[in-house]
Structure 1
Amino acid sequence: MKRHLLLATLTTACLAPLAQADITRVGFATEPYPPFATPDATGAPHGWEVDITRAICAAAELECEIVTTAWDGLIPELTADRIDIIAASLSITERRRQTIAFSDKYYQTPAVLVGAQGIDLAPTAEGVAGRTIGVQSASIHQAYVLEHFPEATVREYQTQDEAHQDLFAGRIDATLADRLVLEDFLASREGQMCCELKGEVAHDDATLGEGIGFGLRQEDEALREALNAAIAEVRADGTYAAITERYFDFDIYGAPVE
């Protein structure tokens, strides 16, 4: 594996308007999103996405520092120059491209519907008509439900964990989210007691996006090129696979880019 003169260092810091010029500030959400990024007792995030970001920073020879903020504040923090990169499972969509730029994708997993056991639900407009579906606010899954499930009632949550709690309590009928996040919930004690997988929704690039990429300011072309080269490098040299196999038993990169 190629050795780099400058290794990336990821440390947790509070948001601040100023940072040293040679530090690349990488924004993660404060909300837990297992197994991608979950904060420990100190607030420092850990998980697959943190490890992959660390490896990509190293490959790009960037000295990276983690800063955390609420999910729906990440794009405003980026455009206000308080962070330089968003690394928080941000889907690449045309709507977001109107405000920010993206790196190449670094993973892509499907959206699935999970609902209460014993009730008739399907991941289609007809299959959820009249039902209440919980989604994380400002997420692609919220956009999908609003676009494709017009006869369902949508309930928004600040975090996906809150949707899980209400699903377990019977206050909603289902939730739509990333497959891996919901598989993690279904494996929990509460998930096993209450819920089951109802199926994968039909993919729609306009709402669900073209994969997960790093969010960047539109003018930061050099940084985008550095990240794209680093993503390709960690994919080619085995680093990506080595990190992924610590968390998953399949390659979550998804279909190759055409």
Structure 2
Amino acid sequence: MNGQSGTTHWALGILAAVGIFAAPPLVLAQDNPIRIAIEGQFPPFNYLDTSGELQGFDVEIADALCAAMKAECEYVTQDWDEMIPGLLDDKYDAIISSMSMSDERRAVADFTERYYDSPSIFITNKQSDLEAFAPDDLAGKSIGVSLATSQEAYAKSLYGRSDIKVYGTSPELYDGLAKGEVDVVFEDKLAAYDWLTNTKTGQCCEFRSEDIKDAAFFGDGAGIAVRKEEQALKTALNAALATITEDGTYNMINAKYFPFSIR
């Protein structure tokens, strides 16, 4: 990992198009690797395998984007609650870690086009008698959320009469629900889908509410965060995202993790 703190400047170059109708892809002229922050605690989007290597949907998308830009990239694992501060402090150049483009985050960072979308949802133990999830319905109940997430902000804003229990990571959140530490958890639907579908402990629980979307809290999907002054990098990432969408790479990665489109 590159721990340098000096500001990296990016410039855009154009590769010769292959074929008369082919769009020339933007590539990044760079002096240093693009440093990409990924949490590593949000399966199936990003996680550390038994060897300590980053894996997941976000990682494969990042790999594909770097290949499309013909850019050298390196990954930096970063705790979620320090993601934006680390970007602003120039510890890395971009965040590809399932970050929703909320108004609060847009105020301090810039984002690419959306690369996937996922609603939030309430999840309970299968034995729970909870059927309604409005603030009045959950008054006096305990709601689990992950630290520094849009779900935490939403729950604390709207569910003031509930006991909001904050967990450090999504795996800890799921474990808390499975152990009965909370009545319900409020989580990103696609991340929870993987736990419910592909893990033994997830068999305890199920989706119970309707999908919840609120642009003020959850933005309009997950995007790649960059510093506001790094417009060349943003432009190159958007061009690369278009490339992997058009050539089928995105769909191939999508199908590896989900049996439905998340775009």
Global fold match (TM > 0.5): yes
CA distance in 2, matches of 1:14, 1:175: 36
> 2:167 pairs with 151, 157, 165, which one?
157
- The alpha carbon displacement at 1:118 in A equals 2.5
Letter paired with 2:202? G
CA distance in 2, matches of 1:128, 1:168: 19
CA distance in 1, matches of 2:154, 2:230: 29
Taking structure 1 as reference, are residues 206 and 14 closer, same or farther at Cα in structure 2, changes over 3 Å only? same
> 1:191 pairs with 183, 194, 202, which one?
202
- 2:185: which partner in 1? 175
CA offset digits 1:150-197 (Å, max 9, x no partner): 3221111110111111111111111111112112222322221x3221
Taking structure 1 as reference, are residues 21 and 42 closer, same or farther at Cα in structure 2, changes over 3 Å only? farther
CA distance in 1, matches of 2:69, 2:133: 40
For residues 135-146 of structure 1, what are the structure 2 equivalents within 5 Å? 135-146=145-156
Letter paired with 2:162? A
Q: Does 1:99 align with 2:96?
A: no
CA distance in 2, matches of 1:139, 1:202: 15
> Which of 1 and 2 has greater Rg?
2
Instruction: Note the residue ranges of structure 2 that are not aligned, 5 or more in a row.
Output: 9-29
Taking structure 1 as reference, are residues 171 and 15 closer, same or farther at Cα in structure 2, changes over 3 Å only? farther
Taking structure 1 as reference, are residues 81 and 222 closer, same or farther at Cα in structure 2, changes over 3 Å only? same
Letter paired with 1:50? V
Q: Say whether the 8 Å CA contact 1:27–1:83 is kept in structure 2.
A: yes
Q: Does 1:210 align with 2:217?
A: no
Letter paired with 2:218? L
* TM-score, normalised by the number of residues in structure 1: 0.87
- 1:116: which partner in 2? 125
> 2:67 pairs with 53, 58, 61, which one?
58
- 1:9: which partner in 2? none
> 2:135 pairs with 104, 125, 132, which one?
125
For residues 53-92 of structure 1, what are the structure 2 equivalents within 5 Å? 53-92=62-101
> SS of the residue aligned with 1:55?
helix
CA distance in 1, matches of 2:4, 2:121: 36
> SS of the residue aligned with 1:229?
helix
CA offset digits 1:218-258 (Å, max 9, x no partner): 100111111111111211121111111111111101xxxxx
CA distance in 1, matches of 2:214, 2:56: 27
- 1:200: which partner in 2? 210
> SS of the residue aligned with 1:214?
strand
- 2:241: which partner in 1? 231
CA offset digits 1:67-89 (Å, max 9, x no partner): 11111111111111110000111
Taking structure 1 as reference, are residues 185 and 203 closer, same or farther at Cα in structure 2, changes over 3 Å only? same
- The alpha carbon displacement at 1:58 in A equals 1.6
> SS of the residue aligned with 1:144?
helix
Q: Say whether the 8 Å CA contact 1:115–1:167 is kept in structure 2.
A: yes
- The alpha carbon displacement at 1:16 in A equals 4.9
Taking structure 1 as reference, are residues 96 and 189 closer, same or farther at Cα in structure 2, changes over 3 Å only? same
> 2:57 pairs with 35, 48, 56, which one?
48
Letter paired with 2:38? F
